[in-house]
Amino acid sequence: MSVSAYVLIQTEVGRAASVAAEIAGLTGVATAEDVTGPYDVIVRVEADTVDELGRLVVANVQAVAGITRTLTCPIVHL
């Protein structure tokens, strides 16, 4: 069973489009969209386990230049 989450990202001013484009190319990223509102980019990520998902966010997504803050929201099926 795979694990999915939305990652809400705040970026430096003027960096949303470049951050979304770079993240979209990462393995495990289903979608990356630049948006308006309190967050600048919303990403949907998928992994086989929660641990893999955490590593994807910390090691790959957060390493992208221009990101100032992330909030990871795991998807649950109630």
**pTM summary value:** 0.94
Closest C-alpha among 8, 10, 46, 50 to residue 28: 46
Checking if the pLDDT of 1 tops 90, the result is no
CA distance 25 to 32: 9
Split at pLDDT 50, 70, 90, the class of 75 is very high
Per-residue pLDDT tens for 27-60? 999 999 999 999 999 999 999 999 999 999 999 9
Average pLDDT along the chain: 96
Are 75 and 6 in contact by the 8 Å Cβ rule? The answer is yes
Taking the domains of the chain in order of start, what are their residue ranges?
Answer: 3-74
Token pair for 9: 């990202």
Q: Which CATH architecture has domain 3-74?
A: 2-Layer Sandwich (3.30)
Token pair for 2: 């795979």
